[in-house]
Amino acid sequence: MIDFAAVEQALSLLFTNFSPWMVVIPGIIIGLIFGATPGLQISMAMAIFLPMTLYMDFVQAMLFLTAIFTGGSFGSGIPAILMNIPGTSSAIATAFDGYPMARQGRHNEALGVALVSSVIGVLMGYLILFVMIQPLSMMVLRLGPSEMFVVILWGMTLIASLKGEQVLKGLIAGFVGLLVGTIGFNELGMARGTMGQTFLLDGVPVIPAMMGMFAASELFKLANKGYIVESEASRKVRIGEIFRGFRLALRYPKVMLRGGLLGVFVGAVPGVGSSVSNLLSYVETQRRDEDPSSFGKGNPKGVVASESANSTSEAGSMATLLALGIPGGGATAVMLAAFAMHNITGGPQFIREQTDVVYAIIFANFAQVFLLVIIGLLFIPLLANIVKVPMRYLIPSVLVLAVMGSFGLTGNMTGPATVLIFAVIGWLFRHYGYSVPAAVIGMLLGAMAEKSLLHSYQISGGNLAYVLERPVTLIIFALLLVSLFGQRLMNWFRRRRQPLDA
């Protein structure tokens, strides 16, 4: 279950010199700032700072990106508690009880509860990942190309259908993304969709495209806002009271454990992740509580439930990324791009051959949480005021970083031009309700999907009956259909039963 030789190598990878750790503190700070700024996303931070990982080795790059992830998951809770504005969708449920606590003058306690729950959540998630990653890779090893193909399609469908009533648009965005991902040379060495441009022979530059779609297009949307929060009384941050919150959080180990387990498993499902896990955990905690009516009025258990779940989701989504090489959302999509930049392909082979690297990433995250406590405490007073920065200063600054970063990636004007084109596409997508994450993940997985399908075709000799001999493929395909039509079918049955019951 645990490869102890790899554990030893991982420890030496991390501790023989200090260099891997140099990037962790800046990573956490970046994550905290982007997480704490409503409108800015963690995936945006990761996309903008991705070019910097060009100068890092793979372990260092992963530590940097996971540090942003970790910092962001706690950072997003700060405005949720202080101003009732979740920094990202993963902290929606944090605001349900965090803000009422703040209104009662208990905002410091709420911040303490959130910080400890986040820290324990990350620890718990990575501990589960540490124990499960080897068995998981063994299971994944049994998946052939046909299974991988339907897993990609299923993941895409889940991500695309997240937006309730706009499922069709989500699917269009995801599938067009997949098509864009196949632009360039095919397996036969012929180039498609390049319009005669040599820079497209290797495909669309995915990272600048991702920067445009995730970051720039979102910033356009925020451009007409004066301040993030127009008016809100400032709340004094007191470290002593935050420590009281630490103790308060530890009184609810069951809530934390439930949130953690929910977070890690929900986080592993592509497209769902922390945005859903915090709400699920909150609802479950409220449902099981002796006094459900106290929720929404400043019950610290609500904050514990939400923050422990959204923090463990990070490890869940990392499990999918490492074991299958498939990103579950925006943040892991950026990590997949970092894998590609370092010529690494995620999947069971990677886990088996580079177990030490996988363990090093996990161990580094154990250490990161302790750094998060210290940096979180130091930065809370600053982060509490970040929403007072005028958007007119924030937006051009981040746009400039994205443009220069993209130039750094391609070494020519292709990068900035790609950012611009995909920023406009992303802006239109957001405006008309198309799923931007589905489109980006489609672009990332297009080539992989084509390769998997081609290998299935070669193995089967073009015989479709081959699929019938692959029960796992059929099961995943059935799951795909259920996630697409399940709810509609249920509604249809309910409607049919109603007249009979009546």
Partner 1 sequence: MYAKKRDYGDLLVLMALAGFTLWYLMDAIRVSSAIQNLLLILPLSLLVLGIVLLEVVLRLKQGTLLTRPGDEAEPLHRTLPVVGLFAAYVISLETLGFDVATVLFIALFLLMKGERNWLLLIGFSLAFGFGTAFFFAYMLPYPMPMLLLEG
Q: How far is the CB of 418 from partner 1 (least distance, A)?
A: 10
Nearest-approach distance from CB 251 to partner 1, in angstroms: 40
Q: Does 411 bind partner 1 (CB under 8 A)?
A: yes
Q: Are 325 and 270 in contact (CB under 8 A)?
A: no
First to last CA, the chain: 56
For 206, the enclosing helix (H) or strand (E) is helix 206-210
Q: Determine the Cα–Cα distance for residues 138 and 117; give it in Å rounded to an integer.
A: 32
What track of x and - describes contact with partner 1 for positions 462 through 501 (by CB under 8 A)?
x---------------------------------------
Site mask for partner 1 (CB under 8 A), range 366-405, x = bound: -------------------------xxx-xxx-xxx-xxx
Phi first, then psi: give them for residue 193, nearest 5 degrees.
65, 25
Does 202 interact with partner 1 (rule: CB under 8 A)? Answer: no
* Burial of residue 320 (number of CB atoms within 10 Å: 0-12, 13-18, 19+): buried
Query: Binding to partner 1 by residue 190, rule CB under 8 A?
Result: yes
Burial of 166 (0-12, 13-18, 19+ CB in 10 A): middle
- Is the CB of 157 or the CB of 355 nearer to partner 1? 157
Nearer to partner 1, 296 or 408 (CB): 408
Q: Is 186 in the site for partner 1 (CB under 8 A)?
A: yes
Which of 35, 271, 298, 416 forms a contact with partner 1 (CB under 8 A)? Answer: 416
Phi-psi sector, 329: left (phi>0), alpha (psi -120 to 50), beta: beta
Residues numbered 126 to 155 that lie near partner 1 (CB under 8 A) are: none
Task: Let me know: does 87 contact 80? Beta carbons within 8 Å.
Answer: yes
The CA R_g of the chain, rounded to the nearest whole Å, is 23
Q: How far is the CB of 286 from partner 1 (least distance, A)?
A: 28
> What's the min distance (Å) between Cβ of 166 and partner 1?
7
By CB under 8 A, name the one of 135, 193, 471, 486 that touches partner 1.
193
33 in contact with partner 1 (CB under 8 A): no
Taking the CB of residue 425, how many other CB atoms lie within 10 A of it? 20
User: Which of 175, 339, 350, 359: binder of partner 1 (CB under 8 A)?
Assistant: 175
In the complex with partner 1, the residue whose CB is nearer, 139 or 400, is 400
Total interface residues for partner 1 by CB under 8 A: 60
Measured from the CB atom, the residue of 237 and 425 that comes closer to partner 1 is 425
Residue with smaller CB distance to partner 1, 12 or 197 = 197
Among 291, 281, 294, which residue's Cα sits nearest to residue 254? 281
Q: How far is the CB of 77 from partner 1 (least distance, A)?
A: 25
C-alpha to C-alpha distance for 383 and 392, rounded to whole angstroms: 18
User: Does 168 engage in binding with partner 1 (CB under 8 A)?
Assistant: yes
To the nearest whole angstrom, how small is the minimum distance from the Cβ of residue 379 to partner 1?
Answer: 22
Q: How far is it, in rounded angstroms, from Cα 315 to Cα 49?
A: 21
Burial class, 486, CB count within 10 angstroms (exposed 0-12 / middle 13-18 / buried 19+): exposed
Among residues 84, 89, 166, 294, the one that binds partner 1 under rule CB under 8 A: 166
- Beta-bridged to residue 227, according to DSSP, are 390
- Pair of tokens at residue 267: 């986080």
In the complex with partner 1, which residue's Cβ is closer, 129 or 419? Answer: 419
- Nearer to partner 1 by Cβ, of 187 and 353: the residue is 187
- Between β-strands 184-185 and 191-192, what pairing exists: parallel, antiparallel or unpaired? antiparallel
Q: Binding of partner 1 at residue 172 (CB under 8 A)?
A: yes
Structure tokens belonging to residue 196: 């005669």
| Token pair belonging to 437 | 């994450």
| Residue 161 beta carbon to partner 1: minimum distance, rounded to whole angstroms | 12
Tell me the DSSP string of 120-170.
Answer: HHHHHHHHHHHHHHHHHHHHHHT--HHHHHHHHHHHHHHHHTTSGGGHHHH
The residue from 227, 243, 457, 466 that contacts partner 1 (CB under 8 A) is 457
Measured distance CA(184)–CA(204) in Å, rounded:
8
Return the sign of the alpha-carbon dihedral for residues 450, 348, 315, 165.
Answer: positive
How many CA atoms within 13 Å lie on the side-chain side of 363?
A: 20
The contact mask relative to partner 1 for 209-248 (x = CB under 8 A, - = no) is: -------x---xx-xx-x----------------------
In the structure encoding, which two tokens stand for residue 101, read together? 């606590």
CB of residue 338 to partner 1, shortest distance in Å = 18
Between 155 and 405, name the residue whose CB sits nearer to partner 1. Answer: 405
Among 25, 141, 424, 479, binds partner 1 (CB under 8 A): 424
Determine, following the binding rule CB under 8 A, whether residue 408 of this chain makes contact with partner 1: yes
By CB under 8 A, residue 171 contacts partner 1: yes
Shortest Å, Cβ 208 to partner 1 = 11
Q: Is 4 exposed, middle or buried (0-12, 13-18, 19+ CB in 10 A)?
A: exposed
Binding site for partner 1 (CB under 8 A): 55, 166, 168-169, 171-172, 175-176, 178-179, 182-183, 186-188, 190-193, 216, 220-221, 223-224, 226, 391-393, 395-397, 399-401, 403-405, 407-408, 411, 413, 416-417, 419-420, 423-424, 427-429, 431-434, 449-450, 453-454, 457, 462
